[in-house]
Each structure stands twice: as structure tokens, then as C-alpha cells.
């Protein structure tokens, strides 16, 4: 691991733990992503594609944690991949999402079927309360 990779790993650990400390499972390899989707059957999965940026820190992670922990209707699984850190896992997750790559972003699945997607352009520059309502609506409708 070179100095840049070591620095980024160290700096991103706190950003990763903002989700994992609230029950999100960090899928850090391509195999972990595939294993997850091969084991869920028709259950729901909420995915946060995490990143090192201001809109992830100020909007995406806080909104995801708030709704995933407080909404009465919740998905069966909450997971995360970290763009730029877990590259293979993120690439594999993006194959399941099958939308233009976007980080941060959020996806909701029933089994392996994508039923909701919130790309970066619907996260960045919006009030966190509006983003929370978008996530809540997807949970309420699909979980």
C-alpha cells in the first residue's frame, strides 16, 4: 500500500463508521456483494454508496442513518460500499444498481431488483430533510 492509499484508508475509516456504527454492513469485496444478493431471497436491501465528499458527509450519511434507524418501516438489510476505497465491491454493486455510476448514492432493492435509486444529483445541494423524506417514501412504499 502506498502512502496515498494508506492516508485515504485512514481518513475514510471515520466516514465508514458513521454508517457501520448504526447497523450498516460494510461490503468491502466483490464476493461480499455477490454473497449478500445471493442470500437475500426477496427481502429488501437499502444500499448507501458512500464517498469522501461534502454531500456524503453533510447529507447522504446523516439522512441514511436517520431514516434507517427512525422510520417505522425499514428494509430487511442495510449495507454500504465505499466508492474510491472498496473499488471492486463498488463496481460489483454498481452492476446490480445498473444506473450511471454516482457517489454518493442510495439504492433500494427487493431481492436483486432495483426498486428505488437516489443519485448524487438528487442529494447534493438539497436540504437534508427533503432527502430524508425521499428515503422514507421509498421505504414506506417498498419495505
Instruction: Tell me the torsion sign for CA atoms 135, 18, 60, 51.
Output: negative
Cα distance between residue 33 and residue 57, in whole Å: 23
Q: Would you please indicate which residues are annotated as catalytic (active-site) residues?
A: 53, 55
Closest CA to 128 of 47, 26, 57, 45: 57
In contact, 114 and 108? CB cutoff 8 Å: yes
Contact 33, 64 (CB under 8 A): no
SS3 123: coil
Amino acid at each position: 500500500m502506498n502512502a496515498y492509499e494508506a492516508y485515504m484508508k485512514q481518513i475514510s475509516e471515520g466516514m465508514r463508521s458513521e454508517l457501520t456504527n448504526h447497523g450498516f454492513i460494510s461490503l468491502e469485496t466483490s464476493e461480499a456483494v455477490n454473497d449478500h444478493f445471493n442470500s437475500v431471497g426477496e427481502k429488501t436491501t437499502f444500499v448507501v454508496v458512500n464517498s469522501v465528499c461534502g454531500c456524503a458527509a453533510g447529507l447522504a450519511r446523516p439522512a441514511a442513518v436517520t431514516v434507517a434507524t427512525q422510520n417505522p418501516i425499514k428494509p430487511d438489510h442495510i449495507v454500504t460500499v465505499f466508492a474510491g476505497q472498496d473499488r471492486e465491491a463498488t463496481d460489483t454493486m454498481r452492476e446490480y444498481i445498473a444506473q450511471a455510476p454516482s457517489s454518493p448514492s442510495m439504492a433500494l432493492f427487493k431481492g436483486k431488483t432495483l426498486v428505488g435509486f437516489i443519485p448524487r444529483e438528487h442529494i447534493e445541494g438539497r436540504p437534508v430533510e427533503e432527502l430524508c423524506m425521499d428515503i422514507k417514501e421509498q421505504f414506506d412504499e417498498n419495505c
